[in-house]
Each structure stands twice: as C-alpha cells, then as structure tokens.
Amino acid sequence: MTAKALELNPVKILSTEDCKQHELSDFASLEILANGRFGETGFGVFYLDNEVLVGEYDGKKFYFSVGKSPNPRFLQKMRLFNLNKELLLWRKKWDTDSGNFASRLRIDNEGKEIEAVDACQLLWGKVTQKDEKFTELSDNRGMKLIIPLKDVSVSDGDRFFIKTRNYITYETDDPSYMQASYFDSRFVSFTDKNGKNLEW
C-alpha cells in the first residue's frame, strides 16, 4: 500500500442506544440480536478467548469457513460492519448459562456532521490459500486468519488491510480549552494494497 497522509473528512454519524444491554445464551440468540439491530449484509469479526473468527453475514445468518459458530461463552467482542454502519458487541459478564453483553450501533451518512479519519490497518499474515468463498492469511509463526472473501484477485503472498474510521471530538471535561481526540472508531471494509474495498 502506498504511503498516504491521514486526512480529516466530514462525515455524518448517528449512534443509537449506546451501551444497550443484552442477555445471550447461545449463537442463535446472537443472530437474533444482529438481525434486530443490524439487519444488513456485512462482515463479522469475533474476538474469542482463544482465537479470532471472521464470517460473512447475509442479514440473518453468519457463515464461517470452519463450519462452526462461535460459542458466546467465549466471546469477548464482536464487530459486525459494512460500508455504512457497525454494530459493536462486548461481553460484560458470563454466568453459568448466559452472558450479559452491551452494544452500540454506529451509522454513517445520517445524523450530525463531525470529522473523522480513515486509516488502513495491515492484517497479520500473507495470502497462503484461497477457495471460492474464503481466503486464508497465515505466517510462519503459526497464526492464521480466514476471511470470507471470494473471487478476490490476489497472488500468493499478497497482503490485506482493514479500513477503520476514527471519529474525532474536540470536547474536554474542562470547557476552558479544546483538544482533538478520537471518541470512537469502527471497521469499514477489507481492502487490498491499493485501498480497493473487497466484498464477498
């Protein structure tokens, strides 16, 4: 990816029900939550206690390369995103049979206008394997990430990136001065080394 300076861009954002509370007991309850709060196609990144899984979301169900669904008992955080919005879900506490989670939904191109910075973060590993639905990134240390990108024109050893949008505020706890800082960020899309958005 060619080096490019980060730029401030105006963006309209809408946040709905920040820190809304949810109780989840199994993966089916998580899919019901995603359908109710997100309801569009996108990518899901699941941070589990022992691994990271990436799936595609068709607006109702998630699909993973490994043929299994993540167990919410081990879910620390999930980011469900597309070009327009992101649902962030995080675990607060897990009891015996269910867990308490919180979420926030961030929607772009609606609501008030603020400034944001888009940046592309390099994903760990190089393309080592691909089939018609999934691409595997791995490295010589044994780390592996399988992402649901099909029909992607890449050579073995190419790298992928994830585009993030970082939202800026100038507010502080002290009204006598202002300071720019990030108050939130979200995933936007997977990209190639040229910054082109990749889709499933």
pLDDT tens-digit readout, 5-63: 678 888 888 876 677 888 898 999 999 999 999 999 999 999 999 889 999 999 999 99
**β-strand 112-122 against 8-24: which pairing, if any?**
antiparallel
Separation CA 57–CA 39 (nearest Å):
9
Tokens read off for 129? 């394997």
Beta carbons within 10 angstroms of residue 163's beta carbon: 19
Closest by CA to 45, choosing from 147, 185, 140, is 147
DSSP state of 72: G
DSSP state of 70: P
Residue that wins the pLDDT comparison between 1 and 28: 28
Separation CA 101–CA 110 (nearest Å):
26
- pLDDT of 157: 59
pLDDT tens profile 120-167: 998 888 877 777 788 888 888 878 888 898 766 655 557 889 999 999
Which amino acid appears at position 137 of this protein? L
pLDDT tens profile 71-130: 889 999 999 999 999 999 999 988 888 889 999 999 999 998 999 999 999 888 887 777
- pLDDT of 133: 82
Query: Strand locations in 1-51, DSSP E?
Result: 8-24, 41-48
Judge contact between 167 and 183, C-beta under 8 A.
Answer: yes
- pLDDT of 97: 81
- pLDDT of 84: 95
Give 4's pLDDT tier (boundaries 50, 70, 90): low
- Residues in CB range of 177: below 8 A, 6 or more apart: none
Does the pTM surpass 0.85? The reply is yes
- pLDDT of 62: 95
- pLDDT of 154: 58
User: CA quadruple 101, 188, 47, 42: dihedral positive or negative?
Assistant: positive
Chain center to CA of 197: 14
